[in-house]
Structure 1
Amino acid sequence: MAYEPPTHSVERSMRATLGVKVVAGIDEVGRGAWAGPVTVCAAVTGLRRPPEGLTDSKLLTVKRRTALAATLAGWVTDHALGHASPEEIDDLGMTVALRLAALRALEGLSVRPDAVILDGKYDYLGGPWRVRTVIKGDQSCVPVAAASVIAKVHRDAMMGELGLEHSAFGFAENAGYPSPVHRAALEELGPTPHHRLSWAYLDALPRWRHLKKVRGTAEQAEQLGLDLGPVF
């Protein structure tokens, strides 16, 4: 199936209206999973023509996505990945965990971006960054689409490695997301150290329900003294 290719129109607009030069695209993967980290990629592409077939990672086959990620690794101007662990997701809540992972990704770039394009409707990054949120940015914006593919392939590989250790859960196929195999393994074996214990799936597992944690909030993160300020 053919998709409308992403463009640099948002970057060009930000350059014209904000006077910025280096714009990073950011996308995440793993937000809705039961297990594994949430992973964020920050990618800087400049205004060059993107590789053929670049689009939202979810619209690509595994084979095409993997091949494209290998191409992108050498094509992007710069990119870096950041993760927030299941424990951090439980303790801090998903919004704060996403920001933490994004800050880690941005910290990994060789040059601080002047502005950021964030996939989706909500700005979980916040100040002091100049942020432009774009719904379906992973389909329409080149750097966000690049970040989407790189993040997805990287996290899937991580979950595949965890699957070698916990073969019953099918992590290599489901990447920690809900699936019949995953649910059956949870019912029989209970959660692994890589599972999020504040997630609602535990409510449906009477044998393991006692392990459930109360999900953290941004306010609790502040009480813990977590520094989520500028990283540069």
Structure 2
Amino acid sequence: MPYEAPTHSVERSLRATLGARIVAGIDEVGRGAWAGPVTACAAVTGLRRPPEGLTDSKLLTVKRRTVMAEQLTGWVTDHALGHASPEEIDELGMTAALRLAAVRALEGLSVVPDAIILDGKHDYLGNPWQVRTVIKGDQSCVSVAAASVIAKVYRDARMAELGMEYAAFGFADNAGYPSPVHRAALEAWGPTPYHRLSWAYLDSLPRWRHLKKVRQIIDEADEAEQLGFDF
């Protein structure tokens, strides 16, 4: 399917309006999964021409995405990954877990960005960062698209590693997201140590619902995530 290649227009705008010389794009993966961490990547790309074919990771085949990630890690000016564990997601909720993962990614950079572009419409970072949110930023902004690909490939590889330990769950194929194989394994074996125990999938598993951890406050976005939606 044809798509418009991402540009540096938002990065240039932040440079012009805020004087931001260093702009980091952030994207995350794993938000709607039942198992595994939520992973964020912060990528600094400058204003150089990106590798041909760069776009949102979800629009690339597995093979093309893997090749693109290899290209990007040598092309970006700087990048770092941050993660929030299933335990942290259960304890904090998804919004706070996203912030934790993103902050860890930002702290992993060798430089402190002057401004940040977040994919989506919600600013889950807040102060003290200068944040610009961009809906479908992973398709329109070079730095966010780069972060999208790097984060997706890294997390998929990590979930495939976990799949060798828990083969019945199909993590190599579903990356911890809802799937028939994943649900069948949950019904038979119950959640692994890598599952999120505050998610609503446990409500439909009579043998295992007693394991569910209930937080006192769940915002609307978290409820949507627990139903398995990936934004």
> Would you call these one fold, judging by a TM-score over 0.5?
yes
- Percent identity, aligned pairs only? 84
Q: Which amino acid aligns with 2:174?
A: N
Which ranges of structure 2 fall in alignment gaps of 5 or more residues?
A: 220-231
* Count of aligned positions: 219
**RMSD value, Cα:** 1.2
Q: In the aligned structure 2, how far is the partner of 1:133 from the partner of 1:41?
A: 15
Which residue of 1 is the match for residue 133 of structure 2?
Answer: 133
Which residue of 2 is the match for residue 57 of structure 1?
Answer: 57
Q: Matched residue of 1:188: which SS?
A: helix
Q: Matched residue of 2:68: which SS?
A: helix
Which ranges of structure 1 fall in alignment gaps of 5 or more residues?
A: 220-232
Contact 1:96 1:218 in 2 (8 A): no
Q: In the aligned structure 2, how far is the partner of 1:187 from the partner of 1:38?
A: 23
Which residue of 1 is the match for residue 114 of structure 2?
Answer: 114
Which residue of 2 is the match for residue 222 of structure 1?
Answer: none
Residue 2 of structure 1 and its aligned partner are, at CA, apart by: 2.5
2:42 is equivalent to residue 25 of structure 1: no
Q: Which amino acid aligns with 1:3?
A: Y
Q: In the aligned structure 2, how far is the partner of 1:2 from the partner of 1:70?
A: 23
Specify whether residues 93 and 216 from structure 1 end up closer, same or farther in structure 2 by C-alpha distance, changes over 3 A only: farther
Specify whether residues 184 and 154 from structure 1 end up closer, same or farther in structure 2 by C-alpha distance, changes over 3 A only: same
TM-score normalised by the chain length of structure 2: 0.93
Q: In the aligned structure 2, how far is the partner of 1:201 from the partner of 1:218?
A: 15
Which residue of 2 is the match for residue 230 of structure 1?
Answer: none
Q: Which amino acid aligns with 2:202?
A: L
Q: Matched residue of 1:24: which SS?
A: strand
Q: Deviations over 1:62-94 (max 9, x none)?
A: 000000000000000000000000000000000
Contact 1:119 1:137 in 2 (8 A): yes
Q: Which amino acid aligns with 2:123?
A: D
Q: Deviations over 1:22-59 (max 9, x none)?
A: 00000000000000000000000000011000000001
Q: In the aligned structure 1, how far is the partner of 2:134 from the partner of 2:100?
A: 20
Q: In the aligned structure 1, how far is the partner of 2:45 from the partner of 2:216?
A: 35
**Structure 1 stretches of 4+ moved >4 Å:** 216-219
